[in-house]
Amino acid sequence: MATETLKRTPLYDRHVAAGAKLVPFAGWELPVQYAGIKEEHLAVRRHAGIFDVSHMGEIETTGPDAQAFLQRILSNDVSKIAERGAQYSVLCTQDGGVLDDLFTYKLGENHYLTVTNAANHEKDLAWFTKQAQPYDVTLHDALHDYAMLAVQGPEARGIVAKLTDGELPKRFRTVRRTVAGVEDVLVCGTGYTGEDGVELLIKRDSEAIWDALLDAGVTPVGLGARDTLRLEVCYHLYGNDLMETRGPIEAGLGWCVKEDTGFIGADAIRVARDRGPSELLVPFVTETGIARQGNAIHGGGEVTSGTLSPSLGVGIGMGYVPIDKAEPQTRLEIDVRGRSRTAEVREKPLYKKEN
């Protein structure tokens, strides 16, 4: 059997030089950790970390019907995206299942860039292409146009600002800047950690920006800590917490679903919202041990994500549970490899920054 050739980001050699442990992920060879997951996680919570997320996909949409087309396929109200703004949404099937969760940036009039999850990029691109047929739009697969770096943490903005030729964007806004001498970098006020920071979409010389940020004291962070950071603040991971067989209402994403826009799947989701879900995705803390994806919850439901929280020092997770078990402080019993572990439903987020 032929082995799959893994794709590499433009920063692959930098990861090797930094001592990264590289693993296959969604068809890419990516760093899972450098110094260690806990150390990297806490660096982001306390200082600043940098993630190479160049494996994320991008789809560029241009043309007179760009807004109307995206309004038809994305769950949120695309007309509300400010100029140079950003918006979170889900991509749905006709029956209301979730194909992916996405960020869309409005780069100009009739010009949008949508960031996809790596494992879903080809599927998303095919869906965009199929649904675009009635519209006057041009779609461009921008996967290989950009390297993407996320710089996150309480000190992240201050460090990036010193390397940049102008003011950084506010949350959910974008701006083009020269960063570490590299021109035309799209700087976005978004992230996946629960910390402040920016994401940088870079068309060339991403190595220069990586080097400058490491020289400024930013810690390189791998996929392992990216997962523990997002789970502490209850951000969804597609393939774990989101999937085609479940809808956004039971996943707790009703806030980014605007049925009145008439997007694909809106009718099914309206029915689900009106009826109320039979199960809900909830965060929990385990008293002992760590629950993992796929572990059964007694009385119905299952764990979708689970890990040891470096910030809290306890096992945390998310899972779908029957509606009568979804209230905070509800006790759960989880089957972890044949042993029953007690957990308690909590409110989101599990980790809250100290004021």
> Is 268 in the same domain as 323?
no
> Is 178 in the same domain as 49?
yes
Mean residue pLDDT across the chain: 97
3 pLDDT tier (thresholds 50, 70, 90): low
Whether 159 is in a domain gets the answer: yes
How do residues 131-190 score in pLDDT, each as one tens digit? 999 999 999 999 999 999 999 999 999 999 999 999 999 999 999 999 999 999 999 999
Whether 327 is in a domain gets the answer: yes
Question: At which of 168, 200, 231 does a domain end?
Answer: 231
State whether the Cα torsion 63-67-72-75 is positive or negative.
positive
> Is 258 in the same domain as 302?
no
Return d(Cα 291, Cα 309) in angstroms, integer: 12
Q: In this predicted structure, what is the pLDDT of residue 354?
A: 74
> Is 101 in the same domain as 154?
no
Average pLDDT over residues 247-276: 98
Q: Which CATH number covers residue 67? A: 3.30.70.1400
Return d(Cα 23, Cα 33) in angstroms, integer: 9
Return d(Cα 345, Cα 286) in angstroms, integer: 9
Average pLDDT over residues 12-37: 97
| Spacing of C-alpha 291 from chain mean position | 21
353 pLDDT tier (thresholds 50, 70, 90): confident
> Is 341 in the same domain as 207?
no
Return d(Cα 116, Cα 108) in angstroms, integer: 19
Whether 209 is in a domain gets the answer: yes
Q: Which CATH number covers residue 302? A: 2.40.30.110
**What single string gives the DSSP state of each residue in 67-114?**
HHHHHHHBSS-GGGPPTTBEEEEEEE-TTS-EEEEEEEEEEETTEEEE
Distances from the Cα of 318 to the Cαs of 11, 68, 84, 120, 304, in angstroms?
32, 35, 33, 21, 6
pLDDT at residue 2 is higher than 60: no
Average pLDDT over residues 119-135: 98
Helices 121-131 & 66-73, crossing angle to 10 degrees? 120
Average pLDDT over residues 74-103: 98
How do residues 336-350 score in pLDDT, each as one tens digit? 999 999 999 999 999
How many Cα atoms sit within 13 Å of 179 on the Cβ side?
A: 34
Return d(Cα 168, Cα 174) in angstroms, integer: 8
> Is 63 in the same domain as 116?
yes
> Is 289 in the same domain as 270?
no
pLDDT at residue 318 is higher than 60: yes
Question: At which of 239, 258, 277 does a domain end?
Answer: 277
Cβ-Cβ contacts under 8 Å for 183 (sequence gap 6 or more): none
pLDDT at residue 355 is higher than 60: no
> Is 184 in the same domain as 223?
yes
Structural domain for 20, as ranges: 12-54+146-231
Q: What's the first-to-final CA gap in the chain, in angstroms?
A: 55
> Is 48 in the same domain as 167?
yes
Number of domains comprising the chain: 3
Q: Which of 146, 64, 52, 130 is nearest to 91 (CA)?
A: 130
Question: At which of 164, 197, 231 does a domain end?
Answer: 231
Average pLDDT over residues 200-221: 98
> Is 42 in the same domain as 171?
yes
Average pLDDT over residues 202-228: 98
pTM: 0.96
Whether 50 is in a domain gets the answer: yes
Whether 221 is in a domain gets the answer: yes
Q: In this predicted structure, what is the pLDDT of residue 1?
A: 45
Whether 155 is in a domain gets the answer: yes
DSSP designation for 7: B
